[in-house]
Amino acid sequence: MSEEALKKVSIVVSKGSLDGVYPGLIMANGARMEGIEASIFFTFFGLHAIVKKKMNNLKVATVGNPALCVPDAMGMAMPTVLGAVPGMSAFATYMMKQEMEKLDIPPVGEFIEMISDAGGKIYACKATVDMFKLKDKDFCPQMDRVLTVGEFYELSAGAQIIFT
């Protein structure tokens, strides 16, 4: 293992669920707190985290999530079939947000703002922006640029690239 300290991370967020977005936000924020240069590249449905109308309305993915459990002291597993029950995603999202609030974990929009204020860079994937027919006005003000994949790689030169 290298003795050289990590200086730069580039985090790719491709999932638009609450549980798909937060790992990237937490990692980027943690990197900035440690003085590590951090950028987040939002692509596919992960882009919802920086779209103004969607960023604070992300839901927990319940269907096809065998690891889903009730956030309590018992950690009771939820049978995957329950994920398809109407209202289950809303309920799981409510429960998760309650637990996050207890831990003082900020909502997505506030987290994005914190990362940007700390010097983290926020990028949107050009192919996804074009596919979803989004415009600059659709994004939160913290979004720095829309990048092609090639531009993302150029800006990430020397960074540890992390997919969440």
- For residue 81, what pLDDT is reported? 59
pLDDT-derived band of residue 76, with 50, 70 and 90 as boundaries? low
Q: In what order do the strands lie in the sheet with 121-125?
A: 145-147, 121-125, 37-42, 8-13, 160-163
- For residue 87, what pLDDT is reported? 77
- Alpha carbon separation from 10 to 35, 76, 113, 160 (Å, rounded): 14, 34, 17, 6
What are the structural domains, with CATH classification, of the chain?
Answer: 6-56+107-164 (3.40.1260.10), 60-106 (no CATH)
- For residue 73, what pLDDT is reported? 42
Tens of pLDDT along 28-61?
999 999 999 999 999 999 999 999 999 999 998 7
Percent of the chain residues past pLDDT 90, beyond the cut: 68
Tens of pLDDT along 4-28?
888 999 999 999 999 899 999 999 9
Question: Buried b vs exposed e over 13-25: b needs ≥16 C-beta within 10 Å?
Answer: bbbbbbbbbbebb
- For residue 77, what pLDDT is reported? 60
Average pLDDT, the chain: 88
Contact 99, 18 (CB under 8 A): no
Contact 153, 70 (CB under 8 A): no
